[in-house]
Amino acid sequence: MNMLLMQCKVEMLRIIRNPYYVFWSLLMPIVFYFIFTRLVNSGSDDVKAWQAHYLMSMTTFSVMGSAIMTVGIRMVQEQTLGWSVYMRITPLPGSIYFIAKMFGQTVMHAFSVIVIFIAGFLINGVHMSLFQWIGSGLWILIASIPFLALGTLFGTMKRVDTASGVSNVVYMVMAVLGGMWMPLDSFPSVLQAIGKWLPSYNYGSGVWSIAAGEAPAWKPMLILAGYLFLFMVLSIYIRKRQEAV
Amino acid sequence: MEHIAEIEHVSKIFAGKTVVDDVSFVIPRGSVTAVLGPNGAGKTTVLSMMLGLREPSQGSVKLFGQSPKQVQVKRRIGAMLQDVSVIDSLKVYEVMNMVRSYYPNPLRMVDMIHLAGFTSDELNKRAEKLSGGQKRRLGFALALAGDPDLLFFDEPTVGLDAPARRAFWQQVDRLADQGKTILFSTHYLQEAEDAAHRILLFNKGKIAADGTPDEIVSRLTSRSVSFIADWDGNDTYPVLEMIHRMRAIPGVSDCKEQEGRWVVTTDNTDTVLAALFRYGIPARDIRTGQGRLDDAFELMLTHDEQDKEAVSS
């Protein structure tokens, strides 16, 4: 237990001390939020609804990013530093190491969610019921698990440059095509059709429903579960192959 | 239990190439063993199999009578590996505390700080900002975090300056005095000779020699008897007869003239001396000598390089 607590603490310290985390996961989404709800006229009929919707977009954008990027790049870094080899000769079980990583990451996500929600409240006075706030936050945390798995998949790459390049591109493409930057219905129909099957759209979709006062549909949950399964199987498969030396 | 580690008929094949070839040895409790050999001799591969990082292709590795992958084993070992840098974004004392938390009976923090010799300034530094030598000291302290019975040091002094090397071996001596079992790899002969009770000499994936430093020295180096022979006239017959007789002595591998002196290379100089008098060879200025271990070691390395060139060309 002592081991697990210590490991979680260490992982959180490492994330919060990373300047990229503060920039990408906190500053960027808040700045975007400010620009797209205050400076740019969205042309939306219901301004209040748009402000709540876009707050969710930016929060999912933040958490999705840090799930994919931080986890993946960290793992590659530890590999190249030889640190993950060192861990294997210590009595720390690999499972605790992994759980601590995921838990630490989730706590940091919770922190991001709270900060960005507060920013939304301060910038636009976004108004939702307590139930909606908590429900949105929970959705964002729980539905981020497939992205943690995707980060783990990128974490099997050999070089930090490759991992950060690939995860950056995937992150940005998914954010745009998933309607996190602007609503999907402003896109050509082909892109809309693709976007609806992306994990990013389905991630946003559930929380957009909650912000609009509806329950999330089953479809995004099933699609996200499917992606989680896919990413997990792939990263376990690759890792097993790499370890078989 | 007498043996801390038992390695039985272990081989490792990477992509069709045999890196470790049917190696067997045991490590008794409290011993200090050097795994000596040139680069590519299989030292690191043997160590990583002993640490459970790599799976032997054949044979078995047992530490404390168990597989090195068992958590009970990992609790009793510590290691400083090559190519392991420090974890990033953590302060030195945080890294130490983290690693201590992995072990049931860790060293006290003060003892670890003492071992690494860190000042309070250094303890509060981010681990990745330490210099190379400081990182090595941190690695050394981390290897001891669990107060292990068995320690592995893989090429521990590469890149260290002379005072840091000396300090390192002094600490190893102290650990040996405390009864810890130590296994280290090195390609510096002098270190193996000075620090180890026993040398396992690796070459091309096999154990070329196994013994105390003294035994290794005598096995690796050749002894010789050299003398000046005063023949009457230019009679070549006694010269040929002498060469023939010398070569017939058991243990003699060569008899030839070098820079005006006759040199007889042998395992046993006494029998050669006896023969000189028995055959009435007109020898004067007789000297016995021993080749330097360094030379023998160098010779082994150069053979290796020739092999490599032969393979690559």
Residue B86 to residue A81, Cβ atoms within 8 A: yes
Contacts of B94 in chain A (CB under 8 A): 10, 13
The three-point CA angle A23-B86-A100 to 5° equals: 65
Residue B98 to residue A6, Cβ atoms within 8 A: yes
Nearest to A231 by CA among A113, A42, A72, A2: A72
Residue B88 to residue A14, Cβ atoms within 8 A: yes
Chain B interface test: which of A87, A90, A95, A96 (most B C-beta within 10 Å): A90
Phi, psi torsion values for B175, nearest 5 degrees: -65, -40
Contacts of B77 in chain A (CB under 8 A): 89
Chain B contact for A86, CB < 8 A? yes
Q: Residues 123..152 of A with a Cβ closer than 8 Å to B: which?
A: none
- Give one DSSP letter per residue of B93-132, joined into a string: HHHHHHHHTTSSSPPPHHHHHHHHT--HHHHTSBGGGS-H
Contacts of A93 in chain B (CB under 8 A): 71
H or E element that contains A33? helix A28-34
> Is the Cα torsion angle A54, A56, A57, A61 positive or negative in sign?
positive
Q: How many Cβ atoms from other residues are within 10 Å of residue A111's Cβ?
A: 16
Chain B contact for A93, CB < 8 A? yes
Low-confidence stretches of chain B (pLDDT beneath 50)? 308-313
Contacts of B55 in chain A (CB under 8 A): 245
Report DSSP state, residue A39: I
Q: Report the alpha-carbon distance of residue B70 to residue B73 in Å, rounded.
A: 5
Per the model's pLDDT, the better-predicted residue between B82 and A140 turns out to be A140
DSSP reduced 3-state for B31: coil
pLDDT given at position B300: 64
Q: Report the alpha-carbon distance of residue B203 to residue B218 in Å, rounded.
A: 17
Distance of residue A6 Cα from the nearest chain B Cα, in angstroms: 6
Distance of residue B193 Cα from the nearest chain A Cα, in angstroms: 28
Residue B101 to residue A18, Cβ atoms within 8 A: no
Chain B contact for A88, CB < 8 A? yes
Q: What does the pLDDT look like over A202-222, one tens digit per residue?
A: 999 999 999 999 999 999 999
Q: Report the alpha-carbon distance of residue B149 to residue B33 in Å, rounded.
A: 14
| Average pLDDT in chain A | 91
pLDDT given at position B26: 95
Q: Report the alpha-carbon distance of residue A146 to residue A226 in Å, rounded.
A: 9
Helix axes A199-211, A218-243, angle to 10 degrees: 140
DSSP reduced 3-state for A41: coil
Distance of residue A245 Cα from the nearest chain B Cα, in angstroms: 6
Residue A90 to residue B74, Cβ atoms within 8 A: yes
A&B contacts, CB < 8 Å: 68
Say if residue A191's pLDDT is above 60: yes
Contacts of A88 in chain B (CB under 8 A): 52-53
Chain B contact for A1, CB < 8 A? no
Chain B contact for A13, CB < 8 A? yes
Chain B contact for A242, CB < 8 A? no
Say if residue A177's pLDDT is above 90: yes
Which stretches within chain B are classed as H helix? Answer: 43-50, 71-74, 92-100, 109-116, 120-123, 132-143, 162-177, 189-195, 213-220, 236-248, 269-278, 293-312
pLDDT given at position A200: 96
pLDDT given at position B302: 60
Contacts of A245 in chain B (CB under 8 A): 14, 54-55
Q: Residues 183..222 of A with a Cβ closer than 8 Å to B: which?
A: none
Chain B contact for A91, CB < 8 A? yes
Say if residue A44's pLDDT is above 90: no
pLDDT given at position B312: 41
Q: Report the alpha-carbon distance of residue B212 to residue B208 in Å, rounded.
A: 13
Residue A10 to residue B81, Cβ atoms within 8 A: no
Q: How many Cβ atoms from other residues are within 10 Å of residue A226's Cβ?
A: 14
pLDDT given at position B310: 44
Cα distance from N-terminal residue to C-terminal residue, chain A: 32
Helix axes A94-124, A47-80, angle to 10 degrees: 150
Q: What does the pLDDT look like over A77-136, one tens digit per residue?
A: 888 888 888 999 999 998 899 999 999 999 999 999 999 999 999 999 998 999 999 999
Burial degree of B40 (CB within 10 A; 0-12, 13-18, 19+):
middle
The three-point CA angle A108-A217-A205 to 5° equals: 50
Say what the pTM is.
0.80
Report DSSP state, residue A92: S
Q: Report the alpha-carbon distance of residue B184 to residue B111 in Å, rounded.
A: 22
DSSP reduced 3-state for B33: strand
Contacts of B97 in chain A (CB under 8 A): 6
H or E element that contains A120? helix A94-124
> Is the Cα torsion angle B83, B87, B92, B93 positive or negative in sign?
negative
Show which residues on chain B lie within 8 Å of chain A, measured between beta carbons.
14, 51-55, 71, 74-75, 77, 79, 81, 83-90, 94, 97-99, 101-103, 142, 146
Q: Report the alpha-carbon distance of residue B172 to residue B140 in Å, rounded.
A: 10
What average pLDDT does this structure show over A145-157?
Answer: 94
Q: Report the alpha-carbon distance of residue B170 to residue B157 in Å, rounded.
A: 12
